[in-house]
Amino acid sequence: MRAKFLFLFSCCALTFGVLKYEVGLTPAPIYTTATAHISPGVGNIIIPHFKLPDLNQRIVQPIDKNQKITLIHFWASWCAPCIKELPELVKFAQQEAEKVNIIAISLDENHADIKPFLQRLLGNTNQPHITWLWDENKSLSEDTLGIYKLPETLLINQNRVLQHKFVGAVNWLDPQIKNQVFMPPFKL
């Protein structure tokens, strides 16, 4: 009897372990500690120039050489952590407009869904401190930059060199995060 119980218990534990690993039954936290998001020292990767459609389907090339650093933020309307994070990113963009460019790139399947979603979430799509773009076929996000988990944000310097990678939702209003974004050599 004991052997049957141990065998059955082992099978259940193994099945649960496989399911947890394969299906991801453990929910990811919306926010973790400030340093858990960041992959510093990714230094020699240069983000290529790119052109993508904006909310009005005009093709724009958002990165130009200036004295600001740039955050390239990848998100989607179906991504729960992205929905939680976007209002804070907008506030961060307003607070730090003099220091940072923010490019928010949607990975939604349908361009027509993006603008109404942002209007519902943020009240309007007129966010002058954020450039809203759409990566229709994921050629930039997946094929070029290897972005597969949302939200994900790349911090690049004035020369388009990747400095940090934030994976998962970030509390952009947290002083620790601001310190990470503006740490040397980015203090302006």
Mean pLDDT, residues 141-149: 90
- Residue 32 pLDDT: 32
- Residue 29 pLDDT: 35
Mean pLDDT, residues 11-29: 43
Nearest Cα residue to 43 out of 163, 171, 166, 174: 163
Based on its alpha-carbon atoms, the radius of gyration of the chain, rounded to whole angstroms, reads 20
pLDDT digits (tens, 9 = 90+) for 85-103: 999 999 999 999 888 999 9
- Residue 49 pLDDT: 87
Cα 52 → chain centroid: 17
- Asked whether residue 5 carries a pLDDT value surpassing 90, the answer given is no
- Residue 158 pLDDT: 83
Contact 111, 53 (CB under 8 A): yes
Look-up of token digits 């949607």? 106
pLDDT digits (tens, 9 = 90+) for 77-88: 999 999 999 999
Contact 50, 61 (CB under 8 A): yes
Mean pLDDT, residues 157-181: 89
